[in-house]
């Protein structure tokens, strides 16, 4: 596809140049070879840039895959951390419940200890008041009967056992409360450690999330850059194909013009040949008349006069029959632009608002109604469609003085042509509008010395031609 594009471009460029400059085919070998070398150099440059772009795309693709793997790994790690965090929170909650139960148990034990303390204190006072000794024997000996003795013995035994049990329970509760307090302290320490661990896990999770967000943003940026590059390459490829078709149409039109010019030239040569044959026939007839023998001696002067008379018209007829040379064939394209639209230039070519403005803007200047947009040269329409930035836009390819020129007409309100259509200089392409990224009704006009591409590598200041 690319080779056919360059062949078509070269054929149009070389042939048109030969017509304009007057170079004859027989003496044009060195000129053609020079142009062919230039085309080959351009082709090699394009191929090299294409290879570099492919390499860059491969590197970006590898980086994209690596980032996707890192994101997947980090996502898995984040899920594991969140699981640990959930478990730690559950354990902390259970630990807090256990501590609360222990604290409640300690309160109950301490209440029992307090009650026993009162009883023991009363027993101690009673013992003190009886000189430190309670005589259970006196209680038994004071019985009135054997039954009373048995009853008193049972009471004494119960009191003694109660005192013993009370003392043992008191000691046991004291030990239990100390153990409970120690367990509470241990669990509190464990809870604090778990809390610190939980805080560390949260901090780690926050850091991981921050890394994930950063990687995700990098991934999105690279995806956007890669997509933009791919879209630009696809768009350039599509435009290249359309420009190839347009150049082939230009070549076909040029060949048709050359065919007609050749027919006219052949017709002119045929007329010259016939005129030359007629002239030679007349000269031969005149010569034969001069060489004929005299019929009488008395009329030599008359014969000479007759011969002279006969020869004179021959000369006159020869001059009359010889046509004037036909004019050299002219190129189909003009060597200068017409203005693409009426109106003043509201913005020039060059840096503007922090970026490059690749053309000039011609304003509608408050006019109402349709303002025609016309082709600056004869050419072929490459593209006529809507673009997010250009809005309705038309791209036309031309041949001017042996060079390919591409012109862009953007933000049109209406498009009156279609791709592949041949247009003449001054033919209307559409009307001025405000479509796409536009701040008001105007024409954005670009000129490219060579094919159009979105990197604008061939863009020049349009005022160079206007």
The CA distance from 409 to 391, in Å, is 10
pTM of the complete model: 0.48
Q: Of 378, 415, 429, 382, whose CA–CA distance to 400 is shortest?
A: 378
For the chain, what is the largest distance between any 2 Cα atoms, rounded to a whole number of angstroms? 223
CATH of 345-464, one of 3.40.50.2000, 2.70.70.10, 1.10.287.110, 3.40.50.1470: 2.70.70.10
CATH level 3 topology of 1-252: Helix Hairpins (1.10.287)
Identify the pLDDT of residue 267: 93
pLDDT value, residue 163: 66
Query: Which has the closest alpha carbon to 380: 321, 425, 336?
Result: 425
Coil, helix or strand for 131? coil
Quote the DSSP letter at residue 463: G
Q: What stretches in the chain show pLDDT beneath 70? A: 1-47, 49-50, 53-54, 57, 60, 116, 119-149, 151-157, 159-163, 166, 219, 223-224, 226-237, 240, 292-335
Cα–Cα distances (Å) from 313 to 271, 275, 290, 445, in that order, read: 20, 15, 14, 64
In 290-318, which positions are buried (b, 16+ CB within 10 angstroms) versus exposed (e)?
Answer: eeeeeeeeeeeeebeeebeeebeebeeeb
321-370 per-position pLDDT tens digit: 444 443 333 444 456 999 999 999 999 999 998 999 999 999 999 999 99
d(CA 146, CA 144): 7
- Which residues, listed in sequence order, are joined to residue 403 by a DSSP beta bridge? 400
Kindly report the CA angle at 28 between 24 and 32, in degrees rounded to 5?
135
Domain ranges of the chain: 1-252, 263-321, 345-464
Please tell me the predicted confidence (pLDDT) of residue 49: 64
User: Which runs of E-coded beta strand occur in 150-258?
Assistant: none
Quote the pLDDT of residue 45. 65
pLDDT of 190:
79
Burial of 340 (0-12, 13-18, 19+ CB in 10 A): buried
Q: Are 382 and 246 in contact (CB under 8 A)?
A: yes
Number of Cβ atoms within 10 Å of the Cβ of 360: 22
Predicted pLDDT of residue 310? 45
Instruction: Return the pLDDT at 44.
Output: 63
Q: Are 336 and 465 in contact (CB under 8 A)?
A: yes
């Amino acid at each position: 596809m690319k080779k056919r594009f360059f062949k078509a471009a070269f054929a149009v460029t070389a042939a048109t140049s030969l017509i304009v400059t007057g170079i004859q085919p027989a003496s044009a070998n060195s000129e053609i070879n020079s142009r062919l070398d230039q085309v080959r150099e351009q082709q090699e440059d394009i191929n090299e840039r294409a290879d570099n772009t492919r390499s860059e795309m491969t590197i970006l693709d590898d980086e994209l895959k690596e980032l996707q793997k890192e994101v997947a790994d980090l996502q898995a790690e984040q899920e594991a951390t969140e699981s640990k965090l959930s478990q730690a929170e559950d354990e902390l909650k259970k630990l807090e419940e256990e501590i609360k139960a222990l604290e409640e148990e300690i309160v109950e034990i301490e209440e029992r200890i307090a009650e026993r303390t009162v009883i023991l204190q009363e027993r101690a006072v009673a013992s003190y008041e009886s000189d430190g000794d309670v005589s259970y024997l006196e209680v038994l000996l004071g019985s009135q009967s054997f039954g009373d003795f048995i009853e008193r013995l049972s009471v004494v035994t119960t009191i003694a056992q109660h005192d013993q049990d009370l003392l043992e329970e008191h000691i046991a509760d004291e030990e239990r409360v100390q153990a409970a307090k120690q367990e509470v302290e241990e669990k509190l320490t464990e809870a604090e450690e778990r809390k610190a661990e939980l805080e560390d896990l949260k901090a780690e999770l926050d850091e991981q999330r921050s890394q994930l967000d950063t990687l995700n943003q990098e991934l999105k940026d690279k995806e956007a850059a890669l997509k933009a590059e791919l879209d630009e390459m696809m768009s350039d490829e599509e435009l290249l194909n359309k420009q190839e078709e347009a150049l082939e149409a230009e070549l076909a039109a040029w060949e048709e013009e050359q065919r007609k010019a050749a027919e006219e030239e052949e017709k002119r040569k045929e007329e010259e040949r016939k005129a030359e044959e007629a002239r030679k026939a007349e000269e031969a007839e005149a010569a034969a008349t001069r060489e004929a023998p005299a019929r009488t001696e008395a009329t030599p002067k008359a014969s000479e006069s007759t011969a002279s008379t006969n020869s004179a018209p021959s000369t006159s007829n020869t001059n009359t029959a010889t046509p004037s040379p036909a004019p050299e064939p002219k190129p189909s394209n003009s060597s200068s632009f017409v203005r693409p639209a009426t109106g003043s230039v509201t913005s020039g070519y060059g840096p503007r608002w922090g970026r490059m403005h690749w053309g000039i803007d011609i304003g509608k200047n408050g006019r109402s109604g349709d303002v025609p947009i016309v082709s600056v040269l004869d050419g072929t329409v490459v593209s006529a469609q809507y673009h997010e930035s250009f809005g309705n836009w038309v791209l036309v390819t031309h041949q001017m003085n042996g060079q390919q020129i591409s012109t862009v007409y953007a933000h049109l309100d209406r498009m009156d042509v279609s791709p592949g259509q041949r247009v003449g200089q001054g033919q209307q392409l559409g009307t001025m509008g405000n479509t796409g990224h536009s701040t008001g009704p105007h024409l954005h006009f670009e000129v490219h010395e060579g094919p159009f591409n979105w990197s604008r590598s061939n863009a020049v200041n349009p005022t160079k031609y206007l």
